[in-house]
């Protein structure tokens, strides 16, 4: 199955570079490019690509606004958006993920991680650059008041999975750590998202850090 991708960035050279990286893969096709946020939203709604790669800083609409328009809460038929940027800033990362992004990678992450992020998004998973994930979420936690023990409907096993997700573990790594099958991990993650009303594993990680569950408790 070919993964259809839209690339949105205001720099033509960057769009060209991303296209070259992605179309070097046998299972990925770039179906459109957009030079600003408004064009990205229009093209994405018209073409319905499998994954949208969106830069943060763009004219007319920035990447956070584009993400919210295409994947935000209440959007019918949300698309899968991966934010790609040179700006490793907390407000951008957190804003993108809260707006509905299913991934966040830096432009210097390398071709392999970029391709992995596209494939993860297409599969309904989520990937955030490892250099971003734990630093971001720990920083976020440090700024939040400690609200005490949070009530939640999760089982002890589900909490173990949540903590592993919050540490950036893949499903395969979680399966190995907890000595359970990959299908069981996927089932747990789906159940956790349903119980907590979250849309993807990035939101699960954010929930864990916000509620100080990531490190235990």
* Average pLDDT per 10 consecutive residues for the chain, totaling 217 residues: 94 93 95 96 96 92 92 88 74 72 80 86 71 57 56 90 83 90 92 88 78 66
Q: 4, 31 in Cβ contact below 8 A?
A: yes
> DSSP 3-state assignment of 92?
helix
Residue 84 has what pLDDT? 84
pLDDT at 85: 78
What pLDDT, on the 0 to 100 scale, is given for residue 90?
Answer: 57
Determine the pLDDT at residue 10. 94
pTM over 0.75: no
Structure tokens at 199: 């849309």
CA 26 to chain centre: 23
């Amino acid at each position: 199955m070919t993964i259809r991708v839209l690339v949105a960035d205001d720099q033509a050279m960057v769009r060209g570079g991303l296209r070259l990286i992605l179309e070097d893969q046998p299972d990925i096709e770039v179906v459109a490019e957009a030079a600003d946020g408004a064009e990205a939203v229009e093209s994405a709604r018209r073409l319905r690509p499998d994954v949208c790669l969106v830069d943060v800083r763009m004219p007319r609409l920035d990447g956070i606004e584009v993400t919210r328009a295409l994947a935000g809460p209440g959007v019918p038929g949300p698309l899968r958006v991966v934010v790609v940027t040179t700006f490793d800033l907390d407000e951008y990362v957190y804003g993108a993920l809260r707006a509905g992004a299913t991934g966040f990678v830096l432009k210097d992450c390398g071709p392999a991680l970029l391709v992995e992020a596209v494939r993860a998004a297409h599969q309904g998973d989520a990937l955030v650059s490892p250099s971003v994930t734990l630093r971001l979420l720990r920083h976020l936690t440090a700024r939040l008041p400690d609200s005490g023990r949070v009530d939640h409907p999760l089982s002890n096993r589900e909490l173990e999975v949540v903590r592993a997700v919050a540490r950036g573990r893949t499903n395969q790594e979680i399966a190995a750590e907890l000595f359970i099958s990959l299908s069981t991990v996927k089932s747990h993650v789906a159940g956790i998202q349903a119980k907590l009303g979250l849309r993807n594993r990035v939101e699960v990680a954010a929930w864990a850090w916000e509620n100080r569950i990531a490190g235990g408790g």
